[in-house]
A and B are shown apart, each in its own frame.
Chain A
Amino acid sequence: RKEVEQDPGPFNVPEGATVAFNCTYSNSASQSFFWYRQDCRKEPKLLMSVYSSGNEDGRFTAQLNRASQYISLLIRDSKLSDSATYLCVVTLYGQNFVFGPGTRLSVLP
């Protein structure tokens, strides 16, 4: 089983739609969780860290479910500019990033 798994997509959604991505991780000792977005031929950019209590940043909401070992990202009111690959990242204590394979999102006009 891979350490971090994501549905590769693509998710094709119309502007204004709400879209949700899930990410599952295999190691229950995982400590830190992040969502990054990566545009084509660009570097990954931090979208948000994911906290146990869940957190929201504008149209983006991240949730962590430790019991089921998954994190989620909800995007409300999708914009064309949200089209990108969304990478789930998990770390173990003192260890380094483990990237999921990424989920590709296309927001259509």
Chain B
Amino acid sequence: DTEVTQTPKHLVMGMTNKKSLKCEQHMGHRAMYWYKQKAKKPPELMFVYSYEKLSINESVPSRFSPECPNSSLLNLHLHALQPEDSALYLCASSQASANEQFFGPGTRLTVL
């Protein structure tokens, strides 16, 4: 199984809402990532979890809160987002950092 799954596929939320994005992999990978991608731009790294511990936070605003409940799951909790946070949010996993990463299909988020 070389698949990374993400839910939901699409999400529309208001600026006062609280929502969560979910990501799952069953490849036994020990590193998991959240990226944000705007149109016509490459993915931008947000967070890295290595062995279920947060190892990198790329100066992401606190309205984004990651969580890694176990080695297969990664969540991104969203609260009080801004319209400019609208983007494609991609989850990825890899055997270890610097190895090839496998991406999920993403959640397309719209903040109204």
Contacts and interface: CB of A to CB of B under 8 A. Distances in A.
B45 A96 contact: yes
A32 B90 contact: no
* Interface size class, chain B: 20 to 34
A103 to B, nearest CB: 11
A15 to B, nearest CB: 25
Nearest to A99: B42
Contact of A97 (B45, B88, B106, B108): B45
Interface residues of A, number: 22
B4 to A, nearest CB: 8
Contact of B102 (A41, A46, A94): A46
B97 A44 contact: no
Nearest to A100: B42
Contacts of B110: none
Contacts of A31: 98
Interface string A30-41: 011010000001
Interface in B95-112: 97-106, 108
Contacts of B42: 87, 99-102
B99 A32 contact: yes
B43 A94 contact: no
A59 interface: no
B46 to A, nearest CB: 11
Contact of A101 (B41, B48, B56): B41
Interface of B: 33, 41-43, 45, 48, 56, 88, 90, 97-106, 108
Interface of A: 31-32, 34, 41-46, 49, 87, 91-97, 99-102
Q: Kindly list the 9 A-B residue pairs having the minimum CB-CB distance in the complex, ordered from nearest.
A: A99-B42, A43-B103, A91-B98, A32-B98, A46-B100, A44-B103, A43-B105, A43-B106, A102-B42
Given A43-B106, A46-B100, A99-B42, 7 more contacts: A43-B103, A46-B102, A49-B100, A91-B97, A95-B98, A97-B101, A100-B42
